[in-house]
Amino acid sequence: VQLEESGGGSVQAGGSLKLSCATSRYVYNRYSMAWFRQVPGKEREGVASIGTDGTALYAESVKGRFTISKDGARNSLYLQMDNLQPEDSAMYYCAATWALDGAPSGLSSREYADWGQGTQVTVSS
């Protein structure tokens, strides 16, 4: 399963970034996809997931600030991150899991078998 993230970088608090995850047409149509993040020494944390039907699920810590979306023309997953805070600094990973139905999979890393290499997001105060 191909998952290739891009779009990370360094911003100041209150700024925005948009992450992208390119995949194949097969994965885009058949897999539930998600964004996770991880800082050294901590467990990987689910940020948002989206089902094949477009329904989204968000972690409480990012609700109202982050938006997950998909684009079928580009076979890509996105994470628009607004009002970024220093605690959002982490390596962000794209993940995918076979979709049993259209609903999004959960935000536990144990539910996902396929992962990208990650893209770093750094937010300074």
pLDDT score for 103: 86
Question: CB count, 10 Å around CB of 71?
Answer: 11
- How does DSSP classify residue 102? S
pLDDT of 102 reads 84
For the chain, list the strands marked E by DSSP: 4-6, 9-12, 17-22, 31-38, 45-50, 56-58, 66-71, 76-81, 90-98, 114-115, 119-124
Residues with pLDDT less than 70, the chain: none
Predicted confidence at residue 101, as pLDDT, reads 86
pLDDT at position 51: 95
